[in-house]
A and B are shown apart, each in its own frame.
Chain A
Amino acid sequence: MIRLRRASFAVGLVPPRSWVERASFGGLVGVALLLVVFSRAEVGLIAQVGHTVRDALVPVMAVIARPNAAIDDGLDWVGTQFALAEENERLRAQVERLLTWQAAATRLEVENAALRDVLNAQRRQPRPITRTARVVADSRSPFVHTRLIDAGAAQEIDEGMAALGSGGLAGRVVDVGRNSARLLLLTDLNSRVPVLVLPARDPAILTGDNGPTPRLDFLPLTPQVGIGDRVVTSGAAGVLPAGIAVGTVVKGDDDMLRVQPTVDWGELHHVRLVRAKPLEEPRNNAADGRATARR
């Protein structure tokens, strides 16, 4: 049982009626209430102060998060040691399956290139821009499903970049500071991701509702969606690259079509941030023509 020495605690007690206590309490509650009101209004100064505090604390968070990740990895390692033979067998089967897929992919790539040559079609999309960052803080709230990462504008992180974890899309970047940024997870109430349901290629919007399985909204009038269908990003709006694995279709308790994300939330220690290369500005042919004529 914990014993607290009474004499030691009696010394520093502040009289509750002291005017300093009252004034500071009233003033600070007032400031806090103003912050509650204005933080939703996205006042630039408040956001700037928030970014500065966050940038200053992110290195500390990164140090504290490191042993946690190491312990998690260690526990995983111990777990795998017990099931080594079984894991080996599973991986062998997986390699065999993937080799078949690799052969099919290579054949399709060659065929695709040949067809593009025949049609004189545009070459495939340029490689997306990618960065890697460490997840240093968790929102720990049922209100917001976000993560804080230790990379920001200084590391060329932009708003809207897709965040990929182990298994697929985890979310996207929404708030960028100098050395930190916030990820909005797929499951957050404010998350909206344009997706395609395969193989029918039905377009939809994946809408988070703070539950574990986001909803499929805005499906076509006659959707051909089935339980277990794969869901990938559609690339609509040109921010997220197309074709990133998102999850599989499941039926929710509310009978709505929902998506079970494929990302492994438990392994979200690092994220890969991806952005579709921005489309080039269309060239102004008329202006070019005038410039040529002048020359």
Chain B
Amino acid sequence: MSKQSAEERAIGYWKANISLIGILLAIWAIVSFGLGYLLANPLNGIMIGNVPFPFWMAQQGAIITFVILIFAYAKIMDGIDAKFDVNE
């Protein structure tokens, strides 16, 4: 790390951050707009317990995923902050 200039570090850090955000937002969109809405009609026959899967995703599953996504971001960023030596 020490051989890199501060500028290179900042660029690398920002790239790592952007790719992480991209991955997490893709999951965010898939669980809510994808499984909850766009595929709601074709997937309506699949059941979770006694509840149709799209209904469960749109009213329960996606929200649970959202909470996990935010904590995952915070946790992974702790590591990225430390790796690029920009942590507090």
Q: State yes or no: do A and B come from one complex.
A: no
B: residues with CB less than 8 A from A are: none
A: residues with CB less than 8 A from B are: none
